[in-house]
Amino acid sequence: MNILIQQGKILYWGTSEWRGVEIIEALNLAQTYKLIPPVVEQPEYNLFVRNKMENDYVEIFKHHSFGATIWSPLHSGILTGKYNTKIPDNSRLSDPINNALKDNIVHDNKLEKTRQYEAWANSKGFNLAALSIAWCLLNKHVTSVILGASNEQQLLNNFKALEEYSKITPEICADLENIFHSKPEIRSF
């Protein structure tokens, strides 16, 4: 990666789904050998998957200029509520290749939490998908969010995250923590 940067073929490099200790090792090796270190990690991060961003990478964020470009802010569409009553045809979970994901959702009671989340979001006037994305942006270490959309409506819902972000208060965050049972490090309001 160092050579590619020196040749002007890339501007910087990052890691994806590395453990915190692996990133620290890469940073230390880069310093020891006077190489250009990674500057960004690409972890999964959402209301269900939080450990790396909120625990494993804490020291990296604290001591290094390191960003995070997160993926799956909607946890494979689960946080949109579209699976709350049934698995729609032609959806990700209708494909047999995703049986392990379906098992994980059932095992971890994610649909029940998502139903509770959806009822709460509806009572507050939030768009579920947009709020899920906006919540990810509250983490001060999230540099950017990788989004996906299969149709125009999903894309428009993604854009609503910017509107929902401005509506999030500490009370809203507390409600979300009550639903999902953990506490993120959030930006100041």
What CATH fold (topology level) applies to the domain 43-180? TIM Barrel (3.20.20)
pLDDT tens, position by position, 87-97? 767 767 667 77
How far apart CA 156 and CA 177 sit, in angstroms, is: 26
Gap between the Cα atoms of 136 and 110, Å rounded: 18
Q: What pLDDT score does 132 carry? A: 97
Q: To 5 degrees, how large is the angle CA 143–CA 188–CA 175?
A: 95
| Separation of alpha carbons 165 and 189, rounded Å | 11
Cβ-contact 18, 41 below 8 angstroms: yes
Q: Whole-model pTM above 0.95? A: no
- pLDDT tens for each residue of the chain, 189 residues long: 999 999 999 999 999 999 999 999 999 999 999 999 999 999 999 999 999 999 999 999 999 989 999 999 999 889 999 888 877 677 676 677 766 666 666 656 888 999 999 999 999 999 999 999 999 999 999 999 999 888 898 899 899 999 999 999 999 999 999 999 855 455 554
- Per-domain boundaries in the chain: 43-180
Task: Tell me which amino acid residue 57 is.
Answer: Y
